[in-house]
Amino acid sequence: MPAALVLLSVYSLALVGAAHGLRALGRRSTSPWASRTLAGHLRATQEPPEDVSDEDWPHSEVPRLYAGMAIVAATAATALSIGGLALARDRIEGSVLLAVLVLSGLTVARMAAAFRS
């Protein structure tokens, strides 16, 4: 399989993985005091700021931001695998890229549906 198609396949899969990772990140609590990174400061500071709710801006934007980025990453993977499919010259290359296309396309569809709802 030519280097270009290997790269497109692996890279598209990495983008799909990144999309799932971003979506998972967007579901995590954005409370500053839920973060392990800030845990040390919470212990050290005498009067830490109040906690915030998910509806306070900019926390309210976070799930949408990550979900949007995830959809872009998955869409990019889909576009690249479609392009790779156009370059495929034999069945093996075509099959691999088709598999990647199906995976990325399903990811886009699922994430877009969740975003709309």
> Could you give the count of Cα atoms lying within 13 Å of 93 in the half-sphere of its Cβ?
17
Question: In this complex, which beta carbon is closest to another protein, that of residue 58 or of residue 116?
Answer: 58
Which residues neighbour 65 within 8 Å (Cβ) at sequence distance 6 or greater?
26
Helix ranges (DSSP H) in 27-90: 39-44, 62-87
Question: In this complex, which beta carbon is closest to another protein, that of residue 49 or of residue 113?
Answer: 49
Interface mask (CB under 8 A) for another protein, residues 54-93, using x and -? --xxxx-x------xx--xx--x--xx--xx-xx------
End-to-end distance of the chain based on CA atoms, in angstroms?
A: 41
Residue 9 · residue 101 · CB < 8 Å: no
Please report whether residue 117 would count as binding another protein according to CB under 8 A: no
Q: Residue 23 and residue 59: Cα distance in Å, rounded?
A: 15
Residues 5-64 that bind another protein (CB under 8 A): 5, 7-8, 11, 15, 30-32, 35, 37-38, 40-41, 44-50, 52-53, 56-59, 61
Q: Which residues contact another protein (rule: CB under 8 A)?
A: 2-5, 7-8, 11, 15, 30-32, 35, 37-38, 40-41, 44-50, 52-53, 56-59, 61, 68-69, 72-73, 76, 79-80, 83-84, 86-87
